[in-house]
């Protein structure tokens, strides 16, 4: 293998590792956020209309049980398959897929599969998740799918999906992060012009994001992270 091919392989593997690290870093926040949304949405529905639909109510109850019993303890295998008293995420998604809670079960199943290293299964579950509804939650789910595509070395799909995730959220820091991950993958593919365009977009559109904040060391201003990536591709 030539030196360039070796470097390309290393670059791609590095971006894949970063994608895996992203889900690992934020998995607890994503899990807690999803549970909170399920509870709030269910409570609001009941408050406004005076009752909750039986299937939705049951699905929320089952999802809450498996989240508390297994997911929050990071027992991903049992979270997926459940036990005699507690149906697992796959069963909830299959039985109550038309409900909001059943839809969330698809997302949670995808995250569990990813944590177990079962990337194909993670992709299958996350692709079933409906992105209609709360934009921030939908964006997180789309970004998780993008990370799975990257881990599966479906890099073009990963780039497109990260771009979709960035468009799904109104949170500037998340828009910048998802766009940045798309740019990094493009750079690993030696698509430098496309990567540079995204780095410049981040600097122009999300100046308040952490990626655009100046770093300091021993009292010296070192510049923003995004500037280093732009500079590297404009030399």
Residue that terminates a domain, selected from 114, 130, 152: 152
d(CA 54, CA 9): 52
- pLDDT of the residue at 97: 87
Indicate whether 120 and 42 sit together in one domain. yes
Are the C-beta atoms of residues 12 and 37 closer than 8 Å to each other? no
154 burial (CB, 10 Å; 0-12 / 13-18 / 19+) is middle
Domain limits at 178?
Answer: 154-235
Indicate whether 142 and 160 sit together in one domain. no
Conformation bin of residue 217: beta by default, left when phi > 0, alpha when psi is -120 to 50 = beta
d(CA 122, CA 140): 14
Indicate whether 195 and 108 sit together in one domain. no
Q: How far is CA 80 from CA 34, 37, 111, in A?
A: 16, 20, 10
Question: What would the pLDDT profile of 70-106 be if each residue is shown by its tens digit?
Answer: 999 999 999 999 999 999 999 999 999 888 999 999 9
Indicate whether 178 and 145 sit together in one domain. no
CB neighbour list of residue 23: distance below 8 Å, 6 or more residues apart: 30, 111, 114, 115, 144, 147
Indicate whether 182 and 142 sit together in one domain. no
- pLDDT of the residue at 6: 43
Indicate whether 62 and 161 sit together in one domain. no
d(CA 108, CA 97): 13
Determine phi and psi for 223, rounding to 5 degrees: 95, 170
Indicate whether 47 and 108 sit together in one domain. yes
- pLDDT of the residue at 132: 79
pLDDT, averaged per 10 consecutive residues of the chain (235 residues), comes to 46 51 50 49 45 78 94 96 95 92 94 96 96 79 96 97 95 95 96 97 95 77 87 91
- pLDDT of the residue at 134: 66
Residue that terminates a domain, selected from 124, 152, 180: 152
d(CA 140, CA 107): 10
Total domains, the chain: 2
The Cβ-side half-sphere exposure at 228, using a 13 Å CA radius, reads: 10
Indicate whether 158 and 188 sit together in one domain. yes
- pLDDT of the residue at 215: 76
- pLDDT of the residue at 214: 86
- Number of Cβ within a 10 Å radius of residue 36: 11
SS (H, E, C) 32-61: HHHHHHHHHHHHHHHHHHCCCCHHHHHHHH
Indicate whether 110 and 200 sit together in one domain. no
d(CA 61, CA 58): 5
Residue that terminates a domain, selected from 152, 182, 198: 152
Indicate whether 17 and 95 sit together in one domain. yes
- pLDDT of the residue at 8: 44
Indicate whether 174 and 126 sit together in one domain. no
Indicate whether 178 and 141 sit together in one domain. no
């Amino acid at each position: 293998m030539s030196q360039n091919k070796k470097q390309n392989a290393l670059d791609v593997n590095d971006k894949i590792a970063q994608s895996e690290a992203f889900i690992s870093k934020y998995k607890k926040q994503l899990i807690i956020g999803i549970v909170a949304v399920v509870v709030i949405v269910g409570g609001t529905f009941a408050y406004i209309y005076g009752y909750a639909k039986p299937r939705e109510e049951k699905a929320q109850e089952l999802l809450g049980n498996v989240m508390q019993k297994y997911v929050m303890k990071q027992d991903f295998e049992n979270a997926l398959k459940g036990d005699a008293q507690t149906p697992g995420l796959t069963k909830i998604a299959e039985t109550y897929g038309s409900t909001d809670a059943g839809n969330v079960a698809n997302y949670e199943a995808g995250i569990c599969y990813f944590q177990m290293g079962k990337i194909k299964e993670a992709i299958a579950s996350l692709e079933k998740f409906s992105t209609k509804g709360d934009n921030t939650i939908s964006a997180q789910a789309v970004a998780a799918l993008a990370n799975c595509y990257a881990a599966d070395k479906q890099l073009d799909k990963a780039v497109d999906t990260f771009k979709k995730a960035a468009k799904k959220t109104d949170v500037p820091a998340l828009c910048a992060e998802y766009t940045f991950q798309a740019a990094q993958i493009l750079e690993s593919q030696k698509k430098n012009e496309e990567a540079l365009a995204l780095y410049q977009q981040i600097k122009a559109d999300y100046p308040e994001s952490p990626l655009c904040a100046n770093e300091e060391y021993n009292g010296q201003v070192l510049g923003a992270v995004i500037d280093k990536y732009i500079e590297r591709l404009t030399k």
